[in-house]
Structure 1
């Protein structure tokens, strides 16, 4: 499977990205349960589909690699590598979330920096991101990791209560 990524990726500051696998549902459930029920609505308000239950999200697409982010042994978030295109040497990164206590701590840029290094070592030359145009926090976070604006996607983002647009970002690795 391309790109060949390790099962664990050090993310600095005692943090570690661990690949979540269908054969280890206990670890996957622990990552999901780290995000309290009461925080899920706010966490996923800009997701067109929620990556929950996380066990199903991990198992549904064998080409998508989902990583849990751990601070020591404590899960604090997750992210995914998907839409892997070997011919173009590019991937998409997304479905990224952090527990509320980990936001603003540098965990997100550390996680992305570690992923960028692992992806580059595996032969990936660019990473793509999609965000809701109205999600200013996500757009700032992408700019902070040197992702550049690449335009708007034509297809609408459909939510139960509204319609929005996707903004695309890319980062050369």
Structure 2
């Protein structure tokens, strides 16, 4: 159980997750540009002049293992593992963006099912999600997975816009998956 064993190609239903690579740069740029209104509530910005710097950061790895998210052969977004703590068998899923045309279609369930199934198979026993308190759409989507609200970290992160955000913490333990998520697993 290492960051490398987490960062392998995954799939569920129509969603394919492949480790982010240089070949995904322009496809992800286009997918992220499909909704320029959403980025102010994200901690980082994957549009405009910020895109290349943030993409390069994701490629470099560090504490984040990023995926390109594909629907068929087309890139529709990205997601990542982060906060990877094999010793405590805890990992986070986040930095997720999905293009508007796949939102609300069940596609997010497929993405998360692939990741959750893989984390449980590796022996992780807690997945957490950290979301800007203003991002109510993501909070609702995560709750639909079966995740439980744990609390709010107040003023814990400064976003790319300079906003000092409060972060909602939600978590999922084995057996808490919603029926909707299990249907994709």
TM-score normalised per structure 2 = 0.81
Q: 1 CA distance for matches of 2:67 and 2:39? A: 17
1:164/1:55 CA distance change after superposition, 3 Å: closer
Higher helix share: 2
Offset at residue 77 of structure 1 (A): 1.1
Partner of 1:39: 35
Aligned length: 167
Partner of 2:155: 155
Q: 2 CA distance for matches of 1:84 and 1:8? A: 17
Partner of 1:27: 24
Paired residues for 1:130-149 under 5 Å? 130-149=130-149
Partner of 2:69: 69
Q: 1 CA distance for matches of 2:117 and 2:95? A: 19
Contact (CA 8 Å) 2:149, 2:171: kept in 1 or not?
Answer: yes
Partner of 1:84: 84
Tell me how large the CA RMSD over aligned residues is.
Answer: 2.0
Offset at residue 88 of structure 1 (A): 0.9
1:162/1:58 CA distance change after superposition, 3 Å: closer
Which segment is superposed worse, 57-66 or 139-148?
57-66
* 2:105 matches 1:105: yes
Which segment is superposed worse, 50-59 or 70-79?
50-59
Partner of 2:177: none
Offset at residue 64 of structure 1 (A): 1.8
Q: Which runs of 5+ in 2 are unaligned?
A: 175-185
Which segment is superposed worse, 155-164 or 53-62?
155-164
Q: Which runs of 5+ in 1 are unaligned?
A: none
Contact (CA 8 Å) 1:132, 1:157: kept in 2 or not?
Answer: no
Contact (CA 8 Å) 1:43, 1:97: kept in 2 or not?
Answer: no
Partner of 1:11: 12
